[in-house]
Chain A
Amino acid sequence: MFWVGMYVKNEYYLSLVIYILFNAINASCLNVLLGYAGIISLGQAAFFGIGAYSSGILTATYGINPYLTIIIGVILSAVIALIIGYPALKLHGHYLAMATLGFGMIVYICFNEMDFLTGGPSGLTGIPDMSFFGFLLDDEYKFFVFMGAVYMLFLFLMEMFDKSFLSYKLRFIHESENASSSYGIDVAKTKLTTFVVVACITSINGSLFAFYSNFVSPVSFSFHYSVEMLVMAVFGGLGSITGGTIGAAILTSIPEIFAEIEDFEVVIYGVILAVTILFLDGGIAKLCRRLAGKYVKSE
């Protein structure tokens, strides 16, 4: 995505690429939970929102340094993730899905109702731009370069994670919790750590989103967005690093490129999700790998 953006001069398409990067990070984060650890979370939009709102409120209303607000957002998200994750991660499957969904809804309702803080349904305006080592990130191009760098850093971390002992531990837990605990893995602690770290990264992403759009409203953090993340992660391919990015790139650009299908967007999301589960086990990433494998073999 980064290289695509380098050649794009049109601001509209540039902003599309930036949105893809935001979505790619979110979807990859969900991918870590879902694809590696098998934790189904339908409330990830809440952490994105907590990051965005804590940065938004603290800078717009109280004029605090943007970097400080990102850190405050991270701390807040970590604490909330700990409180929610500690009891929730003991649950499995449907129960966990519903618990995280319920959590996401509570946060969404709070964003809507606490209008003395969040501006209510009409949103929070006047969030200033962020500056990065003296460069004010005030237009699409500058922010794109910054976001591209953040994304690269994120990819690097993901790659490290994919090769790390932790990711194997998570896959083992995903396979069988009983077996892994009998091998001396602290299942609850590993899952909780992953959940909290993922929440923190999502929260940072949310803060950056607030500084980019200079405006946040509850709509961006609704249940619908959590589901969108899920569709991106599943469609792109669970358990692979590229999965989240592929899913985000395709699913973010489809509705933007074909503007006239706006009304069908929701249905298309559903159909894509269903088709992926029914026929494309492993998503696009695995499909590509399989096709590539076939090609190599036939040579």
Chain B
Amino acid sequence: MQFLYSGITSGSIYALIAIGFNIIYNTTGIINFAQGEFVMLGGMFIYSLLYMMNVPFIFAFPVALFGAFVLGVLFERVFIRYVKVKTELNLITITIAGSIILRGLAMLIWGRDTLLVESFIPAKTIQLYEGTITSDSVLVIGVSLFISFFLTIFFKKTKYGKAFRACYEDKIAASVCGINVRMVVMFSFGIAAFLGAVAGVAVSPITYVTYNDGVMSGLKGFSAAVMGGLGSFWGGIFGGIILGVSEAFFASVFPSGYKDAMAFLIILLILFFRPQGILGRKKATRV
């Protein structure tokens, strides 16, 4: 049972990152390889606000998220919009370029060391059935559930959410109906970065932050997204939790160093046998 609890904790983080992937994919059809970098940046921001500028957490949290949001918007503005030949290859390469730049800058600013972030809430261990769970984990799970619930409502019920969905269905039709597609695309990058930063902040007391974290968290978020079916929010959450739990169980059987390989093995198997994802119905492009 202990594995299940720790798996759900890390799984809900993957789910948050996966939702970030999904938002961008839903409006633009792009997979943002820099998504993991925003997770790392969220952790970095909260670290600098808390420990370098001594801002109390209540203010630091929104500021860090807002910073990530602005960066996400800038990212789209600087990199994605100016790609003249919008082939898939170019878009993939440009997001990779963006992720390298963000990672390199993070290394220059914050250095190569692992930065320690203390728990935001008083540490307590909660006794559950045949296992324990820390207050940090409860926070992580709570935040990701809240965010995904909130986003579902946003996309289903509000006017702006409908604009986002319209852009995915048909960009030209959406713009004919008076939706500012460019704005929507820009904001989807912003929201994705915001979500990444939420994940980054939430996880920072558990895993700490290093400039190099982005690659791993990005990849795991992607595999969670693919597992649940790209484009579906609940799929992303489902995929994240499955990935987290299977990783935790895997780590209990094999040496823990192989744990990350497990995530990639899952990506490969899913991509090879069921690219539309476990929950996905949409037909993925295969020849």
Interface residue ranges, A against B (CB under 8 Å): 34, 38, 40, 42, 84, 87-88, 90-95, 97-99, 101-103, 105-106, 109-110, 112-113, 177, 187-188, 223, 227, 230, 234, 263-271, 273-274, 277-278, 281
Determine how close the nearest CB of chain B comes to the CB of A240; give it in whole angstroms.
16
- Knowing A230-B93, A274-B79, say if A187 contacts B100 (CB, 8 Å): no
Whether the Cβ atoms of B261 and A110 lie closer than 8 Å is yes
Whether the Cβ atoms of B272 and A87 lie closer than 8 Å is yes
Per the bound structure, the CA–CA distance linking A98 and B94 in Å amounts to 15
- Knowing A87-B272, A266-B103, say if A92 contacts B88 (CB, 8 Å): yes
Q: Convert B197-241 into 0s and 1s, putting 1 for each residue whose CB lies closer than 8 angstroms to a CB of A.
A: 000000000000000000100010011001000000000000000
Residues of A within 8 A of B275 (CB): 91, 95
- Knowing A109-B257, A187-B287, A277-B83, say if A95 contacts B271 (CB, 8 Å): yes
Whether the Cβ atoms of B264 and A112 lie closer than 8 Å is no
Whether the Cβ atoms of A95 and B284 lie closer than 8 Å is yes
Partner among B92, B94, B215, B222 whose Cβ is within 8 Å of the Cβ of A223: B215
Whether the Cβ atoms of B104 and A177 lie closer than 8 Å is no
Whether the Cβ atoms of B82 and A278 lie closer than 8 Å is yes
Q: Convert B96-130 into 0s and 1s, putting 1 for each residue whose CB lies closer than 8 angstroms to a CB of A.
A: 11111111110110000000000000000000000
Q: Does B255 sit within 8 A of A, measured CB to CB?
A: yes
User: A109-B257, A227-B100, A266-B104 are known contacts; what are 14 more A-B pairs with Cβ within 8 Å?
Assistant: A40-B92, A90-B286, A91-B275, A92-B88, A95-B285, A102-B267, A102-B271, A105-B261, A109-B260, A266-B103, A267-B104, A270-B97, A271-B101, A274-B101
Residues of A within 8 A of B97 (CB): 270-271, 273-274, 277
- Knowing A91-B275, A101-B219, A109-B260, say if A38 contacts B89 (CB, 8 Å): yes
Determine how close the nearest CB of chain B comes to the CB of A223; give it in whole angstroms.
6
Q: Does B152 sit within 8 A of A, measured CB to CB?
A: no
Per the bound structure, the CA–CA distance linking A227 and B33 in Å amounts to 12
